[in-house]
Amino acid sequence: MPEKSLTVATYAAGASLAAITLIYVFGPTYFLDTQKKGVVGLSNPANDCFINSVLQALAGLGDLRLYLIRETHRRDLDDGVVYSQVIPPEEWQAAVGSADGAQASKKMPAWKIEGLQRGIVTRGLKDILDSLNERPIYKKTISAAPFVRTLEQAFQQRISRQQQDAQEFLQVVAERLCDEYHAGRRARQFAKRRGELPLVVSIVKPVDDLEGSGAGKGEAKGEEEDEDEDGFPLEGQFESQIECLTCGFKPRPTESTFCTLNLNVPQTSATTLNTCFDGMFKTEYIDDFKCEKCRLLHAVTVFEPEAKKSTSDSLVAKAQAAVTKLQVAIDTDPEQPPKDVELPDMRHAPKRRIARHIRLTKFPKVLAVHLSRSIYDTSNYSQKNSAKVSFPERLSLGGLLQQKKYKLLGLVTHKGSHHSGHYESFRRQNVYPPFSNPNTFQPSGPYSGTATPISTPEVRALQQKPGENTTPTSTLDLPSLEPGAVADSPASSPVSATVPSPSPNFGWSSSGKSSPLSGSRRSGLAPNPRDRETDANSLRSVAASARSTLSKIASRPSSRADNSAAALSANAPPASKKPPGTTKPKRKKTSDRWWRISDEKVKEANTRDVLSMQREVYLLFYELEKD
């Protein structure tokens, strides 16, 4: 009798321990994701809402966080000398490919170039975004002061806290990150040419690509590493093309890069985001423009009459030579007129009407849109444009052959006048694979975003042997990871399990054969008290017994009169009977859940609340959807 009470107490303690273990292992991902206050706030000691709102919006951009992790990890792997050595202007020109880059490097002080190459702001932003993406179980507030000090160190000047613009802060941070990316890339290329940086194949390439590659193939991959990488996710590119409506000449398009796309809000009561895009990308007609080709054609019409009227043979030959050279330039490249021909004064060149087109040539991974709401009158007085701007949750850009689709991940709103007010931010409740691992027991590659140690073994019940007196159980006992442990349940009869192995390194038996864990079960011997004590000490055995007990409790029939029917349906889950008139509350979809953050105040919102901020919307953050 004492032995039985001790066994019951042992298994009760084991079941409690197993339940606690399951909660601590599998519970955090679910419970932390459903917390009402599961996001970190930012304190506002001195008008820092413009900083806090931008940082909270950036914290919800997964592609930006992946970029920051990649860049900081790359700089940690490389030698510090690679980024501390200032690149000479001539090498800067070779890396950039233009003389403008060399002139810019000459005007830039050495401390600023070194700071760009080391990626000071990149590392500082990664640290603050990692802190903001913690999943606390209680209300937590941190300060943005460390990141502000990093910016002040990078620019060596103090940042004012007097009612600043969130868009200006975003532009400063984004352009600095973009400059640090290109500076680090130039530093690595310079070190490779000098032989100071060992040739390393890109860390984002899978290991399968490296198998069977020789030294020459590895060198080719290492040289193309920087060219194949994605680059800064907020950096995009557009080109401006003009066309003369008189002669039809199209000069070379002017390419420009951007980190934030500025769109003007029309002065109406209500508009849409697509209308704002049309205001930037629609065809614009400009008058009184002096076309290069029309200027050369005008010069030909000037030189030809002079050649006919002149009586000097030398002047006639000179004019005819000039006409010939101008005609060649008109046919080949009107933007490169002959240098030895003196053209008429620019004031006498004809004025034409041109059409100007702007189109995106490089779509960024993260599209940051700024809605410019400033209105200036004739007296230079500025006020805020409070027009309603409706924006979609999913945005399509590009033509039919080059269409890109974006998904809204965050926005910054402003309430108040043009000279004062308060900024808030909305960010979608996304948890990306690199930061939480939902597929814990699934196999993964060495460079997978959801890396795991092993995969979950399959558990299959053995067929009952003739002559064995066993009763069916509702659940199978899981095998223990220890070689000598045996899963035992006091309420169930001996049932063995086979565990096929995906890899021989873990000691599992192959399919079709029983594992050593179930050897004692198949022998038909009854377990002695020592074996029972050993099973109670095994965590896997306790977990198995807890599962068996819970399943039996769940499958207990509601009525004791029909025991035969309950025994037949022991393995099936019981049908839950709900009282009439009661419905289970629907849980919000993960994609429909947002955080509304105002400094340290955090509230939960949905997509309808976000899309209703039409009068207050100021900054929009869209992420490119994966194909």
Q: DSSP letter string over 88-152?
A: PHHHHHHHHSSHHHHHHHHHS-HHHHHHHHHTHHHHHHHHHHHHHT---SS--EE-SHHHHHHHH
In contact, 18 and 559? CB cutoff 8 Å: no
pLDDT band at residue 45 using 50, 70 and 90 as cut-offs:
confident
pLDDT score recorded for residue 233: 94
| Tokens, residue 311 | 């009586």
% residues pLDDT > 90 (the chain): 35
Instruction: Name the pLDDT band for 159 (thresholds 50, 70, 90).
Output: confident
Q: Residue 428: enclosing H or E segment and its boundaries?
A: strand 421-428
In this predicted structure, the answer to whether residue 412 has a pLDDT above a threshold of 60 is yes
Mean pLDDT to the nearest integer, 272-286: 91
**Highest-scoring range by mean pLDDT, 83-92, 278-287, 473-482:** 278-287
Calculate mean pLDDT across residues 393-401: 87
Encoded tokens for 598: 């105002």
Residue 528 has pLDDT above 80, yes or no: no
pLDDT at 625 over 50: yes
Contacts of 471 (CB under 8 A, 6+ apart): 492, 493
Burial class of residue 569 (count of CB atoms within 10 Å of its CB; 0-12, 13-18, 19+) = middle
pLDDT bin (cut points 50, 70, 90) of residue 545 is low
CA distance 343 to 338: 9
Closest by Cα among 551, 548, 543 to 16: 543
What per-residue confidence (pLDDT) applies to 471? 46
pLDDT band at residue 191 using 50, 70 and 90 as cut-offs? confident
Q: Which of 298, 357, 418, 422 is the catalytic position?
A: 422
Return all residues near 117 (Cβ < 8 A) that are at least 6 apart.
82, 83, 84, 86, 87, 180, 183, 184, 186, 187
Selecting among 49, 244, 259, 276, the annotated active-site residue is 49
Q: Express the helix, strand and coil content of the chain in percent, nearest 5 each.
A: 40, 15, 40
Place of tokens 């020459």: 216
The per-residue pLDDT for 304 is: 85
Beta carbons of 254 and 239 less than 8 angstroms apart:
yes
Distance between CA 248 and CA 297 in Å, rounded? 13
Residue 157 pLDDT > 60 = yes
* pLDDT cut 70: percent of the chain above it: 62
Mean pLDDT of 427-439: 62
Distance (Å) of CA 433 to CA 67, 142, 451, 595: 14, 25, 10, 19
Query: Tens digit of pLDDT for each residue in 226-270?
Result: 445 678 999 999 999 999 999 999 999 999 999 999 999 999 999
Provide the β-strand partners of residue 371.
Answer: 263
pLDDT tens digits, 499-516:
344 433 433 333 443 333
Query: What pLDDT does 624 receive?
Result: 93
Question: What pLDDT, on the 0 to 100 scale, is given for residue 210?
Answer: 40
With cut-offs at 50, 70 and 90, classify the pLDDT of residue 458: very low
pLDDT on residue 614: 94
Where is average pLDDT lowest: 7-21, 239-253, 385-399, 534-548? 534-548
**Residue 309 has what pLDDT?**
78
Residues 6+ apart with CB under 8 A from 303: 319, 322, 323, 326
Structure tokens at 345: 């004064």
The three-state secondary structure class of 196 is: coil
Residues 14, 542 contacting (CB under 8 angstroms): yes
pLDDT value of residue 145: 92
Alpha-carbon distance of 190 to 414, in angstroms, equals 45
User: Lowest-pLDDT range, 116-120, 212-216, 234-238, 263-267?
Assistant: 212-216
What does DSSP assign to residue 379?
A: T
pLDDT of residue 626: 80
Q: Does residue 558 carry a pLDDT above 70?
A: no
Rounded CA separation 525/290 (Å): 102
Map residue 498 onto helix, strand or coil.
Answer: strand
Average pLDDT in the 470-492 region?
A: 41
With a cut of 60, say whether residue 373 has pLDDT above it: yes
Higher-confidence residue of 277 and 202: namely 277
Rounded Cα–Cα distance for residues 173 and 232 (Å): 12
Whether 131 and 142 have beta carbons less than 8 Å apart is answered as yes
- Average pLDDT rounded to a whole number, residues 391-416: 91
Residue among 143, 49, 45 at smallest CA distance from 414:
49
Rg for the chain, CA atoms, rounded: 35
Query: Where is pLDDT greater, at 117 or 563?
Result: 117
The rounded Cα 166 to chain-centroid distance in angstroms is 21
Beta strands per DSSP E along 185-259:
236-244, 254-258
Question: Residues 6 or more apart from 102 whose CB is under 8 A from it?
Answer: 89, 90, 92, 93, 96
pLDDT (0 to 100) of residue 587: 53
Considering only CA atoms, which of 76, 63, 283, 44 is closest in space to residue 164?
Answer: 44
So what's the pLDDT on residue 150? Answer: 94
Q: Which residue would you say has higher pLDDT here, 463 or 120?
A: 120
The segment with the largest mean pLDDT, out of 3-12, 386-395, 456-465, is 386-395
Residues in the chain, how many? 627
- The pLDDT value recorded for residue 306 is 80
User: pLDDT for 333-350, tens place per residue?
Assistant: 998 888 888 888 888 889
For tokens 């701007």, the residue is: 389
Residue 20 predicted with pLDDT over 80: no
Burial of 532 (C-beta count, 10 Å sphere; 0-12/13-18/19+): middle
Q: What pLDDT was estimated at residue 459?
A: 41
Q: Which residue type does 231 have?
A: G
- Is residue 200 predicted with pLDDT exceeding 80? no
Query: Can you list the positions of beta strands (E) in 290-403?
Result: 352-362, 366-372, 374-376, 382-384, 388-390, 394-397
Dist CA 313 CA 442 (whole Å) = 90
The answer, yes or no, to whether residue 432 has pLDDT greater than 80, is no
Model confidence at 608: pLDDT above 70 = yes
Retrieve residue 114's tokens: 């070194």
**Residue 243, number of CB atoms within 10 A of its CB:** 15
pLDDT at 2 exceeding the cut of 90: no
Is 422 catalytic? The answer is: yes
Task: HSE, CB side, 13 Å, CA atoms: give it for residue 566.
Answer: 12
Would you state the pLDDT for residue 527?
45
**Lowest-confidence region among 11-15, 232-236, 567-571:** 567-571
What local confidence, expressed as pLDDT, does residue 617 receive?
95
Which helix (DSSP H) or strand (DSSP E) does residue 184 occupy?
A: helix 166-194
Is residue 318 within 8 Å of residue 303, measured between CB atoms? no
The two tokens of residue 5 are 């009470």
Mean pLDDT rounded to a whole number for the chain: 73
